[in-house]
């Protein structure tokens, strides 16, 4: 399995495995708090478990928060092709930027305006777009490297840290967004609760994350099963080593709606192959392009953005 080894090496190229793998977690479902799981995928470095009760998928190891924080703060982490479009002169034609624009377009279609908070805003590209669209913006970002970049280059109000160490008044934002963050946190309930409380009554919570019920995830699953668990490369690519919880639109809805929200829209986003150049070669590239085409055709794209409205009582 020389090819498999090479792909693993490429996937790990920018990761410190010791930091990212962390310690084996208590097998309690962060969504429904039951503790009955089955191992869905047995991978080289960790297992992917699925909750028998609610269907949520989680990794069996969680990283140490302090180590992870220092990991995200390394300049090397951001100096990778994956984040090449996070800086000034970002390319608006790229899929990741279009995904941000889709959210702003949807909010505009509701004739919304006011204040947006982006949680885990990285360097602040989404907030830069929002600011240009007339929104009052604020960001929270765990990486001082990314936060200071956003403050200096996009002139944004970005607080370094998490919602745990910033004091914001409840109901102070019309919209709270978080792009590709909820899958990185080990306590998604607390993360959503702290985000939800900041949304005004009638306001919106917007969460983007990979869809583990996408066509690409399904094909990876089939290949894994057909090979009796030996062909793990596609699964490994989807069940990202940095992610702790793996959502679908259904499990994310189960997480958010109990906080008094109603799902009003799901925006689908294709996999951006330009962001995953390390797994692009020959047959993978052709295969991925075909899969992306069919994913769009049947509405089972790689990522989704759920928009939830806070109900008024």
Segment lying near Zn ion (by CB under 5 A), choices 46-54, 129-137, 145-153, 174-182? 46-54
Q: Residue 53 or 131: which CB sits closer to Zn ion?
A: 53
Q: Does 32 bind Zn ion (CB under 5 A)?
A: yes
Q: Closest by alpha carbon to 188, among 52, 311, 31?
A: 31
Number of residues that bind Zn ion (CB under 5 A): 7
Q: Does 58 bind Zn ion (CB under 5 A)?
A: no
For the chain, report the end-to-end CA distance as a whole number of angstroms. 58
Shortest distance, position 55 Cβ to Zn ion, whole Å: 7
Cα–Cα distance for residue pair 313/297, rounded to 1 Å:
39
Q: Does 49 bind Zn ion (CB under 5 A)?
A: no
Give the pair of three-digit tokens for residue 93. 């034609």
Q: Does 255 bind Zn ion (CB under 5 A)?
A: no
Segment lying near Zn ion (by CB under 5 A), choices 50-58, 166-174, 232-240, 305-313? 50-58
Q: Does 29 bind Zn ion (CB under 5 A)?
A: yes
Among 4, 53, 70, 276, binds Zn ion (CB under 5 A): 53
Q: 204 pairs with which residues across the strands?
A: 175, 309
Shortest distance, position 62 Cβ to Zn ion, whole Å: 16
Segment lying near Zn ion (by CB under 5 A), choices 26-34, 41-49, 65-73, 297-305? 26-34
Q: Closest by alpha carbon to 127, among 142, 114, 112, 117?
A: 117
Shortest distance, position 243 Cβ to Zn ion, whole Å: 17
Shortest distance, position 50 Cβ to Zn ion, whole Å: 9
Segment lying near Zn ion (by CB under 5 A), choices 44-52, 75-83, 84-92, 239-247? 44-52
Q: Closest by alpha carbon to 45, among 241, 217, 216, 231?
A: 241
Place of tokens 């925006």: 267
Give the pair of three-digit tokens for residue 163. 């919602």
Q: In what order do the strands lie in the sheet with 245-246?
A: 37-42, 47-51, 57-59, 245-246
Burial class (CB in 10 A: 0-12, 13-18, 19+), 297: exposed
Q: Closest by alpha carbon to 141, among 131, 149, 133?
A: 149
Q: Residue 52 or 155: which CB sits closer to Zn ion?
A: 52
Residues near Zn ion (CB under 5 A) are 29, 31-32, 51, 53-54, 56
């Amino acid at each position: 399995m020389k090819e498999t080894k090479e792909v693993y090496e490429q996937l790990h190229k920018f990761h410190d495995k010791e930091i990212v793998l962390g310690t084996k977690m208590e097998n309690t479902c962060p969504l429904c708090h039951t503790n009955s799981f089955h191992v869905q995928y047995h991978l080289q470095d960790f297992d992917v478990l699925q909750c028998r009760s609610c269907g949520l998928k989680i990794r069996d190891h969680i990283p140490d928060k302090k180590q992870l924080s220092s990991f995200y703060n390394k300049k090397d982490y951001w100096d990778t092709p994956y984040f090449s479009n996070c800086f000034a002169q970002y390319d608006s034609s790229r899929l990741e930027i279009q995904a941000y624009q889709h959210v702003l377009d949807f909010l505009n279609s509701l004739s919304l305006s006011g204040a947006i908070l982006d949680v885990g805003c990285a360097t602040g590209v989404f907030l830069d777009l929002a600011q240009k669209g007339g929104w009052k913006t604020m960001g929270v970002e765990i990486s001082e490297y990314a936060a200071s970049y956003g403050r200096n280059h996009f002139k944004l109000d970005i607080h370094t840290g998490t919602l745990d160490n910033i004091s914001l008044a409840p109901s102070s934002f019309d919209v709270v967004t978080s792009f590709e963050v909820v899958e990185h946190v080990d306590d998604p309930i607390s993360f959503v609760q702290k985000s939800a409380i900041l949304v005004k009554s009638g306001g919106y919570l917007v969460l983007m994350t990979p869809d583990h019920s996408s066509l690409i995830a399904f094909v990876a699953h089939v290949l894994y099963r057909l090979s009796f668990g030996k062909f793990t490369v596609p699964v490994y690519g989807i069940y990202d080593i940095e992610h702790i919880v793996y959502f679908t639109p259904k499990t994310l809805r189960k997480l958010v709606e109990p906080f008094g929200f109603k799902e009003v829209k799901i925006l689908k986003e294709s996999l951006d192959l330009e962001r995953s150049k390390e797994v692009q070669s020959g047959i993978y590239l052709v295969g991925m392009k075909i899969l992306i085409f069919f994913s769009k055709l049947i509405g089972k794209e790689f990522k989704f953005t759920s928009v939830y409205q806070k109900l008024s009582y």
